[in-house]
Chain A
Amino acid sequence: MQKPTLPKGWNQVTLEQFIELRQLKAEDGMFEHNIDILCVLTDAYPEDYDDLDIADVGEIFKELKWLYTEPSKNYTDRIGKFYLKPMTDLTLGEFIDLEHYFTNDYIHYLPNICALLYRIPEIVEDGAVAKWESTDFKTSSRVHYFLDQPITKMYGVLTEYIKFRDNFITSHKNLMTEQVEDDLEDITDPEERKEAEKEKASQKWGWEQLIWSVCNGDITKYDQVIGMKLVLVFNFLAMRKELEI
């Protein structure tokens, strides 16, 4: 087998390859894991490497030391026709979707996360977005635009979003539902258990309750509420809580 063409750094690794790399497990041993890494990076099948000598694999991995570094946290604010939407402009609905992606296997959902954070502008004035697209779209219909892009274009955005999310959750902690332990069987006191069950149900319907509260019980306003800016909704809720109205 000829020596494969290897990427020389993270800037030559696509988002799709990055996801595959992060999803690889070393359960079947370090060597098998390394061959899987090579297959991802060179778009090859494991059998393509079967006849290669172990020493040659060792040599190949000497050129891949950069794999053990984190990709650059710099990012681009434009990917093709998509512009990076400022995080402070995120709507409640977008934040709820992002929460779903981040709390359920975020590596798998990285392209969906990109599709939510990078958006098509409706009006661009002097190179800046004056109005964001207003039509609904499915993130899954846009993931393919991002899968082929180098991970270095958007890796920093992801870490930036995690920072934004952490800050946001910390500063609005009193408005977020507290985590209740999963196993209610462990709670022996009947009163405590009843309270925990109530909390758990409240946690399950956390976002719906929040929207219901902002709608003042008028479910026909659902779309309007989820289209409101996240920051505005939470400031409004904080005000209501403080003034007890």
Chain B
Amino acid sequence: MIQIFDQEIPNKMDELTIEQFEKISQILNNQEFDNIEKYVEMFKYLGIKEEMWDDYPFSEFIKLVQDFNLDSYTPNEAVTSIELEGYTYEAKMKLSVKETKLIEKIVNSKPNHYISDIMAIMFKRTDLSNTEHFTDAHLKHKAKLFRTLKAEVCVPYIVFVTEKIAEYAKANAAEGVEPSNA
């Protein structure tokens, strides 16, 4: 946590929820904001009213931004089993075709909540079959549940998924068609 005015603001992966982490990422990646606006907007989301900055020295503001970003986070071992609302959810560090296709679709179409959506795909409720696991309503419900978890849970999965998809894309990038010599 960092202290801003009289408030404690979460800035570490074990302090922020997945929902907060998604929202912060969304704000910081918003091209419509300039660099200052991005952080004013982010702090506003975390509870600091915009007008609080009106008379605040700019150099102090920069210092706060630096402090916020200082979190030298080391990912922990992946949590592979989670209890939520009386059900057990388990995940494996493995990506099937079905999961990859769903993730690709999410990343391309839902940039705002893709982390919780990816978690919903990776974690399966142990008492349900694969058919139920992949239904839209169930995935949506699970994504909502996972948004309440601490962001540190999602890091190993996001790293894993990103690495796997990048590896795949690198190895299988469609090359230009070579003309036939025959």
Query: Which A residues between 44 and 75 are near B, CB-CB below 8 angstroms?
Result: 46, 49-55, 57-58, 61-62, 68-74
Asked if A53 contacts B94 (CB within 8 A), the reply is: yes
Q: Which of B39-47, B80-88, B114-122, B174-182 contacts A (4 or more CB under 8 A)?
A: B174-182
Asked if B104 contacts A49 (CB within 8 A), the reply is: no
Asked if B177 contacts A54 (CB within 8 A), the reply is: no
Asked whether any CB of chain B lies closer than 8 Å to the CB of A126, the reply is: no
Asked whether any CB of chain A lies closer than 8 Å to the CB of B167, the reply is: yes
A-B pairs with beta carbons under 8 A, tally: 77
Cβ-defined partner of A62 (8 Å) among B164, B171, B175: B171
Give Cα distance in the complex from A57 to B167, angstroms: 12
Known: A51-B97, A68-B174. A28 touches B168 (CB 8 A): no
Asked whether any CB of chain A lies closer than 8 Å to the CB of B128, the reply is: no
Q: Bits for A70-87, please: 1 = Cβ < 8 Å to B, else 0.
A: 111110000000000000
Known: A31-B165, A31-B168. A54 touches B105 (CB 8 A): no
Asked whether any CB of chain A lies closer than 8 Å to the CB of B66, the reply is: no
Asked whether any CB of chain A lies closer than 8 Å to the CB of B129, the reply is: no
- Please tell me the number of chain A residues within 8 Å of chain B, measured between CB atoms: 28
Asked if A74 contacts B96 (CB within 8 A), the reply is: no
Residues of A with C-beta under 8 A to B168: 31, 54-55, 57-58
Asked if B172 contacts A70 (CB within 8 A), the reply is: no
Cβ-defined partner of B97 (8 Å) among A30, A49, A69, A74: A49
Most chain B C-beta atoms within 10 Å of own C-beta, residue among A57, A71, A74: A57
Give Cα distance in the complex from A62 to B94, angstroms: 20
Asked if A29 contacts B164 (CB within 8 A), the reply is: no
Asked if A74 contacts B104 (CB within 8 A), the reply is: no
Closest 7 CB pairs of A and B: A50-B98, A29-B104, A72-B182, A70-B180, A54-B95, A69-B178, A68-B175
17 extra interchain contacts, Cβ-Cβ under 8 A, other than A31-B165, A53-B94?
A26-B174, A30-B172, A31-B100, A31-B104, A32-B104, A34-B172, A35-B97, A35-B101, A50-B98, A54-B95, A54-B100, A57-B168, A62-B171, A68-B176, A70-B180, A71-B180, A72-B180
